Amino acid sequence: MPTEFLFALVVCLLPVAALSGWYYGRRDLERKRGTRASGMSSDYFRGLNYLLEDRPDKAIEVFLKVLEVESETVETHLALGNLFRRRGEVDRAIRIHQNLVARPQLEFEHRSTALFELGLDYMRSGLLDRAESLFKELLDLGAHQRQAIGHLVDIYQQERDWAKALEYTERLEKLANRDLAPRRAHYLCEQAEQLIADGNAEDASDKLRAALAIDPNCVRASLMQAGLAMTVGAYEAAIRHLDAIERQDLAFLPEAIPSLVECYRQLGRLDDLRAHLEHLCDLRTGTTPVLTLTRILDEAGRSAEAKARLVAEIDPRPTVRGIDRLVDYALAGASGEARENLLLLKKLTNALIANKASYTCSNCGFRGRSLHWQCPSCQSWNTIKPLHGLEGE
């Protein structure tokens, strides 16, 4: 059965199931009260007929007309509001939930649920200030605490209000008994980014130290500390910050290598740079260390040694970037047909390198060419890392 048909069937049957349960329960109640529901029956079955005719919009209009906001119908209104929001008809969802909230006789549980759903409606429509007010109201009421705080954090992230995001994440961490230290460290890094943009390096450095105090494995903070140190010529300090990445997360060591090279060059310590790169190659952290080492050896006139080191690295762990560099070495001494074949291979490796993603999210599988500390797809923090394997490191 096609997926589209199943989805349409579920969409149609959801209100039928909800309304049927409500209707028959209401009818039994009215029988006990000695009342009649003939008018209701006519409208109700007219709505069912619209559903059978595959006219869900008309059916929903009929159901909305006949439903009264009483304790017996609140759940049905909530179901219809949620259905509208899922279908992208946020304005209609807002009207339903606003109508519920406006009823003073509504029970506390129902009213708080309607407030929460209305907050979700506002978020979906981009009215973040209204959603923020409702979620804060729920916190004052003591209802839907975890969900409300979670959505407030989402709002402050969208607004890039990192101070409030940090504040409410701390509350969520205590309430949900979860370790959210890595996320809080990123909020501090975001604040540091803003301070650096404003030219306030000293306060930015304080934020980065606070981030590492919260999460000692925050690679981002170490990279940023190294960058700040380099801007003032403190290259020894920058190297120490970059060295910390080795114990924080080996997967990110390739991100540190360009800065390491710059620091050692500025200090005139090329022998120490080669030794450092040899060490990183031994850690098997990817292709970048060996490619950087071969370039340094080439500059020193040790191309034969560089080529041998490259072959030793890519033989057990081949990568497109490694093969591309090996083709360069082969081209240096090739001629005739062999050279033409190597140029064709070089064209292929260049195309593969140009079109490949460099980073991937371990949470949702998103791939991109730039490093994001928060995944653009699933919004998770700290889940994107450099790709490893044939097409990566």
pLDDT digits (tens, 9 = 90+) for 96-121: 888 888 888 888 998 999 999 999 99
Q: Give yes or no: residues 343 and 388 share one domain.
A: no
> pLDDT tens for residues 354-374?
878 889 999 998 998 889 999
At 388 the pLDDT is: 78
DSSP string, 283-317: TT--HHHHHHHHHHHHHTT-HHHHHHHHHHHHTTS
Q: Give yes or no: residues 246 and 186 share one domain.
A: yes
The number of folded domains in the chain is 4
Chain-wide mean pLDDT for the chain? Answer: 83
Q: What integer is the mean pLDDT of 32-46?
A: 49
pTM of the model: 0.76
Where does a domain end: 234, 268, 302? Answer: 268
Q: What CA–CA distances, in Å, run from 86 to 2, 50, 65, 153, 210?
A: 20, 20, 21, 22, 41
Q: Give yes or no: residues 195 and 253 share one domain.
A: yes
Q: Give yes or no: residues 301 and 365 share one domain.
A: no
**3-state SS, residue 152:** helix
Q: Give yes or no: residues 243 and 384 share one domain.
A: no
* Distance between CA atoms of residues 315 and 320, nearest Å: 12
Q: Give yes or no: residues 384 and 254 share one domain.
A: no
Q: What CA–CA distances, in Å, run from 131 to 59, 120, 142, 148, 225?
A: 29, 7, 17, 10, 36
Both structure tokens of 42: 């006519």
Q: Give yes or no: residues 170 and 200 share one domain.
A: no
Domain of residue 240 covers 179-268
At 61 the pLDDT is: 67
